[in-house]
Amino acid sequence: MANTRTTPSGTPTNVTQKHTRGGIGESTLRPDGTLKVTGEFAYSSDMWHEDMLWGQTLRSTVAHAEIVSIDVSEALAMPGVYSVLTYDDLPAEMKNYGLEIQDTPVLANGRVRHHGEPVALVAADHPETARRAAAKIKIDYRELPLVTDEASALAADAPLVHEGRDDHHAGHVPHPNIVHRQPIIRGNVEEARKRADVIVEGEYTFGMQDQAFLGPESGLAVPGEDGGVDLYVATQWLHSDLKQIAPVLGLPEEKVRMTLSGVGGAFGGREDISMQIHACLLALATNKPVKIVYNRFESFFGHVHRHPAKLHYEHGATKDGKLTHMKCRIVLDGGAYASASPAVVGNASSLSVGPYVLDDVDIEAIALYTNNPPCGAMRGFGAVQACFAYEAQMDKLAAKLGMDPVEFRQLNAMEMGTVMPTGQVVDSPAPVAELLRRVKARPLPPERQWESAGEGADVRALPGGLSNTTHGEGVVRGVGYAVGIKNVGFSEGFDDYSTARVRLEVINGEPVAMVHTAMAEVGQGGVTVHAQIARTELGVTQVTIHPADTQVGSAGSTSASRQTYMTGGAVKNTCEHVREALLEMGRRKNGSYHPAWAHAELLLEGGKVVTDGGEVLADIADILEDEAIDLELEFRHRPTVPFDLKTGQGDGHVQYTFAAHRAVVEVDTELGLVKVVELATAQDVGKALNMLSVVGQIQGGTTQGLGVAVMEEIIVDPKTAKVRNPSFTDYLIPTILDTPTIPVDVLELADPNAPYGLRGLGEAPTLSSTPAVLAAIRQATGLELNKTPIRPEALTGTL
Amino acid sequence: MRVNFTVNGRQQEADDVWEGESLLYVLRERLGLPGSKNACEQGECGSCTVRLDGVPVCSCLVAAGQVEGRDVVTVEGLADFAKQRAEHGHGGACAAGGGCGTKGVSTDEAKRWSARPGDSRTGEGVELSNIQQAFIDAGAVQCGFCTPGLLVQADELLERNADPSDQDIREALSGNLCRCTGYEKILDAVRLAAARQGEAL
C-alpha cells in the first residue's frame, strides 16, 4: 500500500520542531497494544465481580402500543431470579433521559413507541435464567396506529409520537411530529435559476445504517456502601452519561462513579445511554453487582442508528460549468426518540451544498418523529446523507454539460475564503480541487486482475468471489469520484470543552508525566497521541495514561472528529502550563546560576531544560526534586453561534474537513454483483500527529462508506415498523474479501486556529466513499441508482 | 454438568455447567479467560475463534459438553503455543501444567489499567508470538475487539502457509469481521509476520 505524505511548500505551520523521542508526528505504537493482542485488555463485557448477577432487558415486540397490563409474578417466582423491575419501580421523580431532549423513558410508561423499547428488567444468577425469566413476563399490548414516514407523520389525523412537547424546538417546528427544522436561505434562487443553462433534479434515498461496533453494549454496576454505585461501562462520553444517569437513580452525581472500561468500537452508537441506567437500577435494587451484556440481536435494538433519509435536490449550472443555484429538501427519519436528531438536522442543512461555491441556495432539513427505531449519531452525522445526494447531482450535471466529472467539481470547488450558505467564511485551507486532482492522478489498478495468477481465474478477485459465479463473463469496470465536507467539533453555540490533568514528578530518578482525562478511548488512538503530546511539550520519555473516569473534568464526546483537537488540545494546553510552572520553579532554584534563565526562550527536551540555542541549563529531575506539578485545566475551541431559525445564517461551525475518493468497481451485470477493486482516497488532516493512526482511521472510515454503498441497511417493515434483520447473518458489513486496497494520500495543510494545525479526521472518509462507489457502479452499468445500498436486484432490473 | 478439557496446556475442570452453555461462555465466565470475544455469539464475526484440537472454530458455536477431553488454545495461550510450535516443529499445547495465562479481569485490575512508565505496552518486556507483535507494529489494532479471533486465525494460516498471497490472506480471514481498520493494516500485519517468519528460518 502506498501512503504518501505531502506538505506543500509555503504552508503556514505553527508547529515548533522538537526532538524528544516518541513525540508528535511519529508513528508511535498504541500503549494498549500488548494488552489487546494478549487478550488481557478489559472490555466492558469482560468485567467480573464476586456474587455478580446478570441483568436482562425485556423489550417490546410491537412498535406502537398501549401497555394494558404487565404481570411479572411468574418471572419473580423463578429460582435464581433476584429482581424484576418495571416503570412503577423507578426510584426518582425523573423517569426519562436523552442527549438533548429528555424524551426517552428508562422503562416504558404505559406506552411503547418503537420495536424493541425496554419495558422491564430482570436480575438473576445466570444469564440464561434472566432471559427465561424475562420471557415469562406477560405484557398485554393494545396496538396503536403507526407513524412510519413523512406522509403518515404529517397527515391531518396523524397520531402524535410525543404529546404535549415542551422542548426548545417545539415552538418553531411546523408539526409536533417534526423534531427540528433548519432552513438556510441565502441569495435568490429564483433569480439565479434564470442564469442556468442546465438544471438537474434528483430524489435520493439513503438507507438506515448500523454502527455495528463489535463490542456489544455491556457493563457492570457495583452498589456502594454509601448508597451510590460504581459503574464500569463502554461509552463515548462519561460525563454526558453521568448527567443522564444520576437524576433517574435519584442520586447526586458524586455518588455515581463512572470508570471507562475497554470500548469495542463506537462510531456514534455509544453516544446515547444503553444499559447504563438499567444495570444501576438492578444493582441498587438487589444490592449486588449486576452485569449486563447485550447479544448481537439485542445490540441492534440497544443503540440508535444512522438516520435514513429522503433528499430532493435541484441544481443549475451555466454551459461553461459554473453552478448557479441549489435547492434541496432533506427529510431525516429520527424514529421514536430525539437522540441527536436536532444536531443531525443542523449538520445536514449547513453542509448540504457540499464543498462547492454556491451563493444562491434554498435549503430545508427536518427530522421526523416516527415509530421507527430511534436514529442519532453515526460517523458523518447528517453530512453523509447529503454527500451521497449532492455528489450524484454533480455527476448528473457534468454528464448533461458533457464535462469531465472531476473537472466540473474542480471548477466549482470551494477554497479558503469561500462563504458557506450559513454566511460563515471558510478561514483555513480547503484544498478540495487538489484532493480531487490527487485521487484522479493515481494510476488505475490493472484490468482483469483475476487472470494474473496464470492458470484459470482467481475467483477471489471477481464479483461473487468464492461463490464462483463468474470467471469474467459479463464483468464491466467503472470508475467514480466524490468529495465531501464535514464539520469538526460540536457546533451551533454549544459550549464544547475538554479537560486535562497533567502531573509531572520524578519517579526512580526520571521525570514522568501522568495524563488524566475522561476521554473515551474507543479504538481511535487518543491514548497514543496524548502520550506523544506530553512527550513533545514536556520533553519527557515516560508518560503514564491514567484510566478515564469521572474523577476528572469532562472531555466531551469521542465524536464529531473532535477528540484529538479538543482533548489533545487540552493535554497540550495543560502541559504548557505545567512547563511554565516548572520553568518558574527552575528560575527560583537555579536562576542565579545562569543568565539564560532570565531572558532566553527555554525548551524542555530529553528530560532537560535547554535554551533555544541548545544549551542545557538543568535536568528536569533536579528542578523538581521531590515536588510534583499537578494541574487540571479546561480547553475550549473558538465559540460558535446557533443558526438563525429562519435564514440559517450564523458562524455555526468550528472547523471544516475534506476528503475525496476514487472508486474502481467491477460489476457482474448478469447477476448484479459488485466487486470494489480499489478505493483510493486523499484527505487533508492539517497535521498528522501519528500517521499510522491517521491512515488507519481513513481506511476504516472509507470501509464503512463502502458498506453502506453496497450492503448495509437495517430493514424496517413499513407495515409493522419492526426491524427485520437484527443479526450479522442478515445485516452484512464488509469482510476482508469485500474490502479493496485503500491507498491513502495525506495532505497536511495547517489550520492556524487548531492545536498543532491539526484537522479532525475520523468522519470525512465515510462521506465521499459511498458516492464514489455509487458513481463507479453507475458508470459501469449506465443505471441511475438513486438509492443506497445497491442490491443485486437494482442492477439486474429484477427489483 | 462437569466438563474436563485442556486449555492452553492446562487441565481445566468446569463445574455446574448448564447444558446450553457454549465453550465461549465457559472460557469467559467460568475459567476467567475473557480474551476470546463475544461480538455476535452466532458464528458470524469470528471474534471468539479458538483452536479446538488444532482446528480454528467459533467457540460460541461449540457446546461446552462437546469439548470434553479435548484441547483448546485461546488468544491468552497463543504466545506459548507459537513458542512450543517453534521449538517442537508442530502445533502443540502449552507446557503441561504450566498454563498460558488464566487471568480473569476484576474491576480492581481494570481500574489499575494504564500505560505504566517503563512499560510502553507495545511488546517490549512481554513475550509475544510473531503474529501478535506484527499486529502491534503494523497498526492492525484499533478497538481491538476483533483482534483475538484474527490472531488465532492468522496464526493458523501462517502455520500451514508460510508465504500466503494477499488473496490467500483475504480468504483465510474472511470469517473475521473488523469494523475499525478497513482490513488494510491487518493485511500488512499478516504480510509482516510471514516475512519475519521467513527471515527466522
Domains of chain B in start order, with CATH, are 3-74 (3.10.20.30), 77-98+116-200 (1.10.150.120)
DSSP assignment of A46-111: G-B-TT-EEEEEEE-SSSSEEEEEEE-HHHHHSTTEEEEE-GGG--SS--EE-SSS--EESS-SSE
- Which of A204-208, A592-596, A668-672, B78-82 has the least mean pLDDT? A592-596
- The residue of chain B with its CA nearest to that of A257 is B111
Omega before residue A127 within 30° of 0, cis: no
Instruction: Answer whether residue B148 shows pLDDT above 80.
Output: yes
Q: What percent of chain B has pLDDT over 90?
A: 78
Q: Average pLDDT of chain A?
A: 95
Q: Between chains, do A213 and B20 touch, taking CB under 8 Å as contact?
A: no
Is B103's pLDDT higher than 60?
no
Residue B141 has φ and ψ, to the nearest 5°, of -110, 125
Is B144's CB within 8 Å of A262's CB? yes
Tell me the pLDDT tens digit for each residue of A192-216: 999 999 999 999 999 999 999 999 9
From chain B, the residues in CB contact with A27 under 8 A are 139
Tell me the average pLDDT across A684-688: 98
DSSP track, A164-204? S--STTTTT-SSTTEEEEEEEEES-HHHHHTT-SEEEEEEE
Radius of gyration of chain B from its Cα atoms, rounded to whole angstroms = 16
Count chain A–chain B contacts defined by CB atoms under 8 A.
260
Beta bridge partners of A33: none
Task: Confirm if A223 and A256 have CB atoms less than 8 A apart.
Answer: no
* Residues in a beta bridge with A605: A608
Residue A452: what pLDDT?
75
Residues A276-327 pLDDT 10s: 999 999 999 999 999 999 999 999 999 999 999 999 999 999 999 999 999 9
- Residue A111 has phi, psi (to 5 degrees) of -155, 140
Q: In what order do the strands lie in the sheet with A629-636?
A: A542-545, A510-516, A497-507, A629-636
Considering just the CA atoms, what is the radius of gyration of chain A in Å? 27
Read off the pLDDT band of A705 (50, 70, 90). Answer: very high
From the list A27, A31, A297, which residue is nearest B115 (CB)? A31
Q: Report whether pLDDT(A707) > 90.
A: yes
Query: Cα separation of A668 and A578, whole Å?
Result: 61
pLDDT band at B111 (very low <50, low <70, confident <90, very high): very low
**pTM higher than the cut 0.80:** yes
pLDDT of A740 above 60: yes
Q: Taking CB atoms and an 8 Å limit, are A37 and B181 in contact across chains?
A: no
- Cβ of residue A295 closer than 8 Å to a chain B Cβ: yes
Contact partners, residue A493, CB within 8 Å, separation at least 6:
A639, A640, A641, A642, A652
Residues 228-257 of A with CB under 8 A from B: 230, 232
Q: A52 near A291, Cβ under 8 Å?
A: yes
Phi, psi (deg, nearest 5) at residue A290: -130, 130
What single letter denotes the amino acid at residue A350?
Answer: S
Q: Which residues of B fall within a CB distance of 8 Å from A36?
A: 141, 144, 147
Residue among B29, B76, B107 minimizing CB distance to A232: B107
Residue A334 and residue A342: Cα distance in Å, rounded? 9
State residue A3's pLDDT score.
39
> H or E stretch including A341?
helix A341-350
**Nearest to A397, CA basis, from A19, A792, A796, A775:** A775
User: Alpha helix locations (H) across A523-617?
Assistant: 526-538, 563-590, 596-599
Question: Alpha-carbon distance A88 to A67, whole Å?
Answer: 13
Q: Where are the beta strands (DSSP E) in A295-385?
A: 305-306, 309-317, 323-333, 361-368, 375-376
B60-73 pLDDT, tens digit each: 999 999 999 999 99
The span from the CA of A622 to the CA of A518, in Å, is 31
The alpha-carbon gap from B46 to the nearest alpha carbon of chain A, in Å, equals 11
Predicted local confidence at residue A799, as pLDDT: 59
Lookup: cell for B195: 516475512
Q: Which residues of A touch B185 (CB under 8 A)?
A: 695-696, 699
pLDDT tens digits, one per residue of A347-399: 999 999 999 999 999 999 999 999 999 999 999 999 999 999 999 999 999 99
Instruction: Look at residue A467 and tell me whether its pLDDT is greater than 60.
Output: yes
Domains, chain A, in order of start with CATH, read 15-41+497-636 (3.30.365.10), 44-144+216-263+270-302 (3.90.1170.50), 150-209+305-383 (3.30.365.10), 420-490+653-796 (3.30.365.10)
The terminus-to-terminus CA distance of chain A in angstroms comes to 38
State the average pLDDT for chain B: 87
The single-letter DSSP state of residue A714 is B
Q: What is the pLDDT of residue B112?
A: 42
The residue in chain B having the minimum alpha-carbon distance to the alpha carbon of residue A222 is B107
Q: Which residues in A694-769 belong to E strands, given as ranges? A: 744-747
The answer on pLDDT for A94 being more than 90 is: yes
Q: Provide the b/e sequence for A330-369 (b: ≥16 CB within 10 Å).
A: bbbbbbbbbbbbbbbbbbbbbbbbbbbbbebbbbbbbbbb
Distances (CA, A) of B58 to A508, B54, B71: 46, 13, 14
Binned at pLDDT 50, 70 and 90, residue B118 comes out as very low
CA–CA separation, A238 and A518 (whole Å)? 7
Q: Is the pLDDT of residue B52 over 70?
A: yes
Inter-chain residue contact A700 with B118, CB threshold 8 Å = no
Q: Do B193 and B130 meet the contact criterion of CB atoms below 8 Å apart?
A: yes
